[in-house]
């Protein structure tokens, strides 16, 4: 929006928005977990990160479990259910399925007041991968001994492990659990009701080798504009295949070093010119 409000008209500004859409699965355990304590992102599963053979898929990650965020993340039914849900948080664990999205969205100004607006719908392609991640997370939680497993998908009942199943110790082959997993797949993500989270935001000033395909050149310079650079996650030409913090830092470092070198060269040229005069 800053570039648009400054008068730049490159058609790619604000397009190609990538959000690493996520859906998460939670579980209640018999023992106290106190999930808000300790480190976050302590474990990642990479097995499902290349489901299409072209680098698109999902990462399964342990997540931040702060009460103010976690307790507002699941479908609302009524006040009593929410109070019961909140009272059990000390026994809960949550995992996310984070997709490297192939689909994209747009950032644009509101036509009436100019405020920032975002348009993004998770594509069918990406929903398919996220579903695989949801199922995989549920299986992990079952193996870990969860007494109850639930999703953030509206209208989908939670799975409750029976004492009989625990005694048989069939693992994820528990018929009741397999039936529930099939319900998850059949239910899917109802487009009008299902909420997704955004893990990371990227791509709306994407880097390109030509002015007609992106917003900035390989040095971070805005095409067609002198002394204007972008050096953050918006220059990523596609969704990253990893959590992009280090990648963003590396890009910013590279672009800033280029700016410093360019400014140093200009100063050197000016000083040389002054010496000649």
Burial of 119 (0-12, 13-18, 19+ CB in 10 A): exposed
As given in the structure block, the two tokens for residue 120 are 């993004």
User: Which of 70, 73, 60, 67 minimizes the C-alpha distance to 153?
Assistant: 73
Q: Exactly one of 12, 16, 129, 200 is catalytic; name it.
A: 200
DSSP annotation of 16 reads S
Give catalytic status of residue 200 as yes or no: yes
Does an H or E element contain 44, and which?
strand 44-45
As given in the structure block, the two tokens for residue 174 are 């528990």
* Sequential DSSP letters for 222-270: BTT-TT-B--SGGG-SS--SS-SHHHHHHHHHHHHHHHHHHHHHHHHHH
First to last CA, the chain: 44
User: Which of 15, 243, 11 minimizes the C-alpha distance to 118?
Assistant: 15
Secondary structure class of 139 (helix, strand, coil): helix
94/150 Cα distance (integer angstroms): 10
19/79 Cα distance (integer angstroms): 31
Question: C-alpha distances in angstroms, 209 versus 9, 215, 235, 271?
Answer: 18, 10, 12, 32
As given in the structure block, the two tokens for residue 58 are 């999902």
Residues known to be catalytic? 200
């Amino acid at each position: 929006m800053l570039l648009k409000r400054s008068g730049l008209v490159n058609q790619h500004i604000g397009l190609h928005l990538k959000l690493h859409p996520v859906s998460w699965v939670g579980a209640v355990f018999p023992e106290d977990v106190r999930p808000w304590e300790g480190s976050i992102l302590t474990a990642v599963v990479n097995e499902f990160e290349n489901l299409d053979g072209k680098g698109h898929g999902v990462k399964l990650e342990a997540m931040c479990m702060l009460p103010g965020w976690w307790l507002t993340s699941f479908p609302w039914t009524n006040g009593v259910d929410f109070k019961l849900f909140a009272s059990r948080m000390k026994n809960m664990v949550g995992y996310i399925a984070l997709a490297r999205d192939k689909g994209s969205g747009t950032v644009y100004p509101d036509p009436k007041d100019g405020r920032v607006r975002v348009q993004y719908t998770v594509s069918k392609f990406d929903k398919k991968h996220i579903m695989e991640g949801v199922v995989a997370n549920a299986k992990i939680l079952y193996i870990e001994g969860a007494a109850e497993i639930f999703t953030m998908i509206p209208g989908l009942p939670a799975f409750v492990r029976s004492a009989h199943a625990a005694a048989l110790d069939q693992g994820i082959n528990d018929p009741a659990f397999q039936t529930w997993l099939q319900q998850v797949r059949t239910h899917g993500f109802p487009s009008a009701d299902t909420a997704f989270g955004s893990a990371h935001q990227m791509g709306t000033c994407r880097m390109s080798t030509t002015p007609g395909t992106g917003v900035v050149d390989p040095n971070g310079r805005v095409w067609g504009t002198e002394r204007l650079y972008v050096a953050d996650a918006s220059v990523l030409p596609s969704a990253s295949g990893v959590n992009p913090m280090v990648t963003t830092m590396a890009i910013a470092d590279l672009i800033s070093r280029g700016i410093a070198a360019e400014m140093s060269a200009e100063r050197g040229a000016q000083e040389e010119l002054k010496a000649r005069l």
